[in-house]
Amino acid sequence: MTDPKQPIAWHHVRWLLLSLLLVAAPHALHMPAWTIALMAMLAVWRAYVGYARHALPNRWLLLMIALAASIGVFLSYRTIFGRDAGVTLLVIMLGLKLLETRTQRDAMLLSFLGYFLVITNFLYSQTIGTGIYMLACTVFVTATMMSLNYAGSEPPFRAQLRTAGMLLAQSVPLMLVLFLLFPRVPGPLWGLPRDAFAGVSGLSDTMTPGSLSSLVLSDAVAFRVRFDAQMPRAKDLYWRGPVMWDFDGRTWSAQFFFYTAPGIEAAGDLVAYAVTLEPHNRRWMFALDLPARVPPLSLVSTDYQLYSIQPVNSRLHYDMTSFLNARFGEAENRFALRRALQVPPRSNPRAQELGRELRQKHADDEQIIGEMLSMFRRNFVYTLEPPLLGENPVDEFLFSTRSGFCEHYASAFAVVMRAAGVPTRIVTGYQGGEINALGNYLIVRQADAHAWTEVWLANQGWVRVDPTFAVAPVRVDTGISAAVPRTDPLPLMVRPPYEFLRQARLTLDYVANTWNQWVLGYTPERQRSLLAHAGLDDATWEKLTAVLLVVAGVIVAMLTALALRQLKSRARDPVTIAYVRFCDKLRRRGLTREAAEGPVDYARRVERLRPELTPTVEAITRLYVALRYGAESSAIALIELQRRVRQFTA
Amino acid sequence: MYAALRNRFYTWIFQWRGPEAGAIVLGQRRIFILPTRLGLVFATVLLVMLAGSINYSLGLGFVLTFLLGALGVNAMIHTFRNLANLRITGGRARPVFAGDTALFTIHLENLGDTDRYAIGLTHDRRQASFVDVMARSTMPATAGVAAPRRGVLRPGRLTLFTRFPLGLYYAWAYADLDLRCIVYPRPAPSGLPMPPAASSAGSGTERGQGQEDFSGLRQYHLGDSPRHIAWKAAARDQGLLTKQFTGRAETELWLDWAQLPPQMGVEERLSYLARWVLDAHAAGLAYGLRVPGTSVEAAAGEAQRERCLETLALFDRDP
């Protein structure tokens, strides 16, 4: 079988089929049904042809199928590039290639493609489970590859699997070194397909009634935070996200605009922490109110939102510092303030009327705010399942339904304030988080999504006002689960009665977080900081390559030594070793023992030529013969032999 | 010029040192290793995977790519190991007739504790035979070498190679053992009558006559007269068998160089003599051989046949 042009046997086809199907199986989750059926058909066809020893199908027929399948993929996805279409096409082509795999070389190439298919799975999932499954697949493909290289007898496939696993296990040290030290380049190298990061949830740059409450149903992790020192109190954990200025009567939207930034007048307490942000395919990054520094490759807008230069489509790790209770924006730009007062004139008339009434009643902005909040406090309900709202959602919410989620409160509050002439903007983001004591970090989930407002007061700048806090103070103090009615459909994991489940979940999250930090999130920056910790400051790629080559060289040398050690015949027994040393000493004096000469004959010859050595040679030979061929097996005799050989000089 | 230079370069780099007596142990200096074409394809696939991992920031992609890269390095060690420390000793090669293929057997001894699979032996790098040598065992391996001319055939360098376990590397070692094979002259097609017997025993010089006793059948050997093939047995699918006759030991026949027509060349004479030897042997006769400078006393049997053919093979050649 080691001739590349030799046809492969049925059992090779079988293993090849099985390993490729194992690797391709997870793709079935997102491939269109007809392609799955096609794949199944191709696999069965190949298995039948191999089993019944028929000739492989005509190349033209396969070409026609390939063409038809490509058109089908195009019709299904409206493209043949993109991630999903590309992977589907690759899987189908692999199935077709199976049907023209005849020689050992074809089969080897197909196993290489099997490895490639493993990596395409990581485009969809990189969890620990996927990792383990794909590792098993890799062992399988490797065993298949190995089975193609036997000639004559072939051990059972299970033994081959074990050998393949061993080959891979031996490769792990070198893999670790490569993983840690291989000079990392920040991606992407070329344009990513538009659907590369489809299906990630997170905040949006618009807010309509109901947009946040649907997000709250997801217990997906938004980001994780590790504080350098003491964690701030729960009510200070406002994670600032998109800031919304513009309102069309129903929808708030955030726009990215620049003007001269207002300054920070008073800093307040400084907290330092590190955020690991899950990819959400948008540009904003999250920081505690109010961000005090700008991480690399990001910028801060004039309303103090952090923006990444690139959309965050891989896990992003950044160090942050924030000012708690900062005073900022006293000298706000007047155009910005005018913008923070705009309400579409004909929308929500009753809310605007309420605002104007409040203005007439109070001259002081803070009194207006206080009255509005106490109105919320009196007879409003905080719920995840608010009634649907129609044309003028703020009016309906304020005057008829009176129950809603944080976006309803924030929106209504902002509209009334603007009508009353208090500049107001909406800030969306997350509030709170769950502490994982196991790893001592904070998990912020999509369920913690929140919306609040900032009002601008002369001499105070922008001040955070959270209308939700007025209605349901527990939302801010202890979290969402305490704030909403028990019947509301919250994610299971944030419900207190499932404490055991929650603990298990926290443990798993700790493992996942470690995995994310060290395996998936091992970015060029992390590599640099790790190496700086190890004493290798400003690691250029030349330095890294040099270190990598040295360490890899040592590992390869060790592996080689280990591999070759097993080749020598078994370690000789100490008796033989001692005797060989004795012979070596004589050889150096020109008395070489002949190949066919027994120890006694040899001793006799030595004695004849060097009579003065007789007593020692005789003693050593007698001991050796007794130990080697006789009944003598005591340790004392052995030690005596070794001693005499050591002292022997010819 | 170029060929000579290349040969010197190869001699230096591969340490060709002429035939070696005794056993050869494949130490590290004797084994060479290069990636196969498939190995280069594998490396290319890994590069593509690396680029993909960078592009999509796939942490697990990096893990897989580096794992397979390390596997590639490890495969090199294992391919090398598959040959390392093998002990090779030369075996016998049965004599063949010129124009046939001589089969040289060498013995591969695995002293270690690991099984070695798919070790190939080749002479010309076109045709190879494969053997598996299990731990602490010895296996014969055979290399076919074309024997175009009579005399002594020395195969020269044999190549032992392996691609096991993953087919990504080709490791090889040269074994230039002191092997030899006697190549008999190609027997002439039958047709020239045998010389008359120079004895008083009289009858029985003609082959296949009815008065001799049929004694049995034996396996067909190359050179047996087609007249003695048991065709009936062949028709019954028993393979080629040759009929043997006895009772003619008293007949003395001399196959003499001088009996052949004087205009014949040396090789042609040898080839006719070889034919006569085979025919006489097949007929079960006792015969002697005379060539210039040597003569073989008359006798019958397998040993006589070999002695005579060897004399013919080595005529005018150094053994």
Predicted ipTM of the assembly = 0.78
* Res A82: pLDDT: 78
Tokens representing A179?
A: 């993983």
B241 part of a folded domain: yes
Rounded to the nearest integer, the mean pLDDT of chain A is 84
- Cβ distance B112 to A566 less than 8 Å, yes or no, reads yes
CA B189 to chain A, closest CA, distance in angstroms equals: 38
* Res A2: pLDDT: 59
- Number of domains present in the structure of chain B: 2
Q: Which of A348, A354, A350, A374 is nearest to A422 (CA)?
A: A354
**Cα B18 to Cα B20: distance, rounded to the nearest angstrom:** 6
Same domain, A247 and A394: yes
B126: chain A residues, CB-CB within 8 Å: none
Tokens representing A93?
A: 């082509």
Q: Does A260 touch chain B (CB under 8 A)?
A: no
- Number of domains present in the structure of chain A: 4
Tokens representing A297?
A: 């490759």
CA A107 to chain B, closest CA, distance in angstroms equals: 11
Same domain, B31 and B173: yes
Q: Are B316 and B294 in contact (CB under 8 A)?
A: no
Please check the confidence at residue A1 and state whether its pLDDT lies above 80.
no
The Cα-based distances of A111 to A19, A101, A201 in angstroms read: 8, 11, 36
Same domain, B45 and B102: yes
Same domain, A613 and A636: yes
A126: chain B residues, CB-CB within 8 Å: 58-60
Same domain, B143 and B98: yes
Same domain, A60 and A114: yes
- Cβ distance B112 to A567 less than 8 Å, yes or no, reads yes
**Cα A24 to Cα B192: distance, rounded to the nearest angstrom:** 73
Which residue, of B133, B159, B182, is where some domain finishes? Answer: B182
Partner-chain residue, chosen from B42, B114, B167, that has the shortest CB–CB distance to A566: B114
* Res B204: pLDDT: 41
Measured CA angle at A69 (ends A137, A90), to 5 deg: 30
Q: Model confidence over A295-312: pLDDT tens digits? A: 888 888 888 888 888 888
Same domain, A385 and A443: yes
A137 part of the active site: no
B204 part of a folded domain: no
Confidence bin at A211 (pLDDT 50/70/90): confident
B62: chain A residues, CB-CB within 8 Å: 179, 182, 522
Partner-chain residue, chosen from A122, A163, A172, that has the shortest CB–CB distance to B60: A122
Which residue, of B164, B182, B200, is where some domain finishes? Answer: B182
More confident residue, B206 or A363: A363
B205 part of a folded domain: no
Interface of A with B in 189-208 (CB under 8 A): 189-190, 192, 196
Q: What is the mean pLDDT of residues A554-582?
A: 79
- Percent of chain A topping pLDDT 70: 91
**Cα A508 to Cα A189: distance, rounded to the nearest angstrom:** 33
Same domain, A261 and A375: yes
Rounded to the nearest integer, the mean pLDDT of chain B is 83
Q: DSSP per residue over B104-164, as a string?
A: EEEEEEE-SSS-EEEEEEESSSSSEEEEEE-TTEEEEEEEEEE--SSEEE----EEEEE-T
Same domain, B32 and B174: yes
* Res A328: pLDDT: 86
**Cα B147 to Cα B123: distance, rounded to the nearest angstrom:** 12
- Cβ distance B118 to A146 less than 8 Å, yes or no, reads no
Q: Cis ω on the peptide bond leading into residue A188 (within 30° of 0)? A: yes
Chain A CA closest to residue B161 = A2
Confidence bin at A491 (pLDDT 50/70/90): low
Query: Which range, of A19-23, A39-43, B227-231, B287-291, averages the lowest pLDDT?
Result: B227-231
Q: What is the mean pLDDT of residues A27-50?
A: 90
- Cβ distance B49 to A112 less than 8 Å, yes or no, reads no
Tokens representing B59?
A: 């942490």
Same domain, A558 and A579: no
CA A628 to chain B, closest CA, distance in angstroms equals: 21
Confidence bin at B200 (pLDDT 50/70/90): very low
Confidence bin at A5 (pLDDT 50/70/90): confident
B92 part of a folded domain: yes
Same domain, B45 and B162: yes
Sheet with A246-247, side-by-side order of all strands: A206-207, A252-253, A246-247
A198 part of a folded domain: no
Interface of A with B in 543-572 (CB under 8 A): 556, 559-560, 563-564, 566-570
Strands A403-404 and A381-382: parallel
* Res B210: pLDDT: 40
Q: Are B73 and A556 in contact (CB under 8 A)?
A: yes
A503 part of a folded domain: no
Same domain, A533 and A638: no
> To which H or E segment does residue B219 belong?
strand B213-219
Q: Does A314 touch chain B (CB under 8 A)?
A: yes
* Res A568: pLDDT: 63
Which residue, of B166, B182, B198, is where some domain finishes? Answer: B182
Interface test with B, best of A81, A132, A149 (most B CBs within 10 A): A149
Highest mean pLDDT among A105-109, A467-471, B314-318: A105-109
Interface of A with B in 98-157 (CB under 8 A): 104-105, 108-109, 112-113, 115-116, 118-119, 122-123, 126, 130-131, 134, 138, 142, 145-146, 148-153
What phi and psi values does residue B219 have, to the nearest 5 degrees? -60, 145
Chain A CA closest to residue B75 = A167
A229 part of a folded domain: yes
Q: Does A4 touch chain B (CB under 8 A)?
A: yes
Please check the confidence at residue A630 and state whether its pLDDT lies above 80.
no
Report the 10 Å Cβ neighbour count for A537.
10
Which residue's entry shows tokens 């955030």? A254
What phi and psi values does residue A537 have, to the nearest 5 degrees? -75, 160
Which residue, of A128, A150, A172, is where some domain finishes? Answer: A150
Confidence bin at A487 (pLDDT 50/70/90): low
- Cβ distance A119 to B58 less than 8 Å, yes or no, reads yes
Q: Where are the alpha helices (DSSP H) in A424-489?
A: 467-471, 473-477, 480-483
Same domain, A275 and A392: yes
A79 part of a folded domain: yes
Highest mean pLDDT among A401-405, A578-582, B61-65: B61-65
Same domain, B144 and B242: no
A18 part of a folded domain: yes
- Cβ distance A167 to B69 less than 8 Å, yes or no, reads no
* Res A113: pLDDT: 94
B226 part of a folded domain: yes
DSSP-derived 3-state class of residue B62: helix
- Percent of chain A topping pLDDT 90: 26
Partner-chain residue, chosen from B66, B81, B131, that has the shortest CB–CB distance to A563: B81
Q: Are A171 and B73 in contact (CB under 8 A)?
A: yes
* Res A481: pLDDT: 66
A537 part of the active site: no
**Cα A152 to Cα A286: distance, rounded to the nearest angstrom:** 63
Same domain, A605 and A586: yes
**Cα A308 to Cα B35: distance, rounded to the nearest angstrom:** 45
Query: Which range, of A14-18, A75-79, A258-262, B217-221, averages the lowest pLDDT?
Result: A258-262
Q: What is the mean pLDDT of residues A427-445?
A: 86
- Cβ distance B56 to A187 less than 8 Å, yes or no, reads yes
B57: chain A residues, CB-CB within 8 Å: 187-188, 313-314, 523
Q: Which of the residues A395, A406, A448, A509 is marked catalytic?
A: A406
B190 part of a folded domain: no
Same domain, B17 and B132: yes
* Res B188: pLDDT: 85
A223 part of a folded domain: yes
A515 part of a folded domain: no
Query: What predicted TM-score, i.e. pTM, was given to this entire model?
Result: 0.70
Same domain, B172 and B276: no
What phi and psi values does residue B174 have, to the nearest 5 degrees? -95, 135
A483 part of a folded domain: yes
A319 part of the active site: no
Confidence bin at B196 (pLDDT 50/70/90): low
Residue B45's domain comprises 8-182
Please check the confidence at residue A586 and state whether its pLDDT lies above 50.
yes
Cβ neighbours of residue A158 under 8 Å, at least 6 residues apart?
A: none
A168: chain B residues, CB-CB within 8 Å: 67, 71
Same domain, B226 and B168: no
Q: Are A4 and B38 in contact (CB under 8 A)?
A: yes
* Res B202: pLDDT: 40
**Cα A245 to Cα A255: distance, rounded to the nearest angstrom:** 7
**Cα A204 to Cα A455: distance, rounded to the nearest angstrom:** 22
Residue A639's domain comprises 574-647
Q: Model confidence over A383-429: pLDDT tens digits? A: 777 777 777 888 988 888 888 888 889 999 999 999 999 999 999 99
**Cα B264 to Cα A618: distance, rounded to the nearest angstrom:** 71
Cα atoms found within 13 Å of the Cα of residue A1, Cβ hemisphere only: 28
* Res A179: pLDDT: 92
Same domain, A483 and A346: yes
Same domain, B173 and B232: no
Same domain, A412 and A528: no
Q: Model confidence over A96-147: pLDDT tens digits? A: 999 988 899 999 999 999 999 999 999 888 888 999 999 999 999 999 999 9
Q: Model confidence over A270-281: pLDDT tens digits? A: 899 999 888 888
B195 part of a folded domain: no
B90 part of a folded domain: yes
* Res A68: pLDDT: 92
For chains A and B, CB pairs below 8 A equal: 181
Q: Which of A479, A391, A497, A395 is nearest to A442 (CA)?
A: A479
CA A320 to chain B, closest CA, distance in angstroms equals: 23
| Dihedral Cα A51, A54, A58, A63, nearest 10 deg | -10
**Cα A150 to Cα A172: distance, rounded to the nearest angstrom:** 24
B70: chain A residues, CB-CB within 8 Å: 171-175, 178
Q: Cis ω on the peptide bond leading into residue A290 (within 30° of 0)? A: yes
A3: chain B residues, CB-CB within 8 Å: 128
Same domain, A313 and A238: yes
Sheet with B116-122, side-by-side order of all strands: B31-35, B169-175, B158-162, B116-122, B128-133
* Res A163: pLDDT: 92
**Cα B175 to Cα B157: distance, rounded to the nearest angstrom:** 6
Which residue's entry shows tokens 């074994």? B175
DSSP bridge partners of A207 = A252
Q: Model confidence over A541-561: pLDDT tens digits? A: 788 888 899 999 999 999 888
Tokens representing B46?
A: 């890994």
Interface test with A, best of B63, B85, B161 (most A CBs within 10 A): B63
- Cβ distance B57 to A523 less than 8 Å, yes or no, reads yes
Confidence bin at A290 (pLDDT 50/70/90): confident
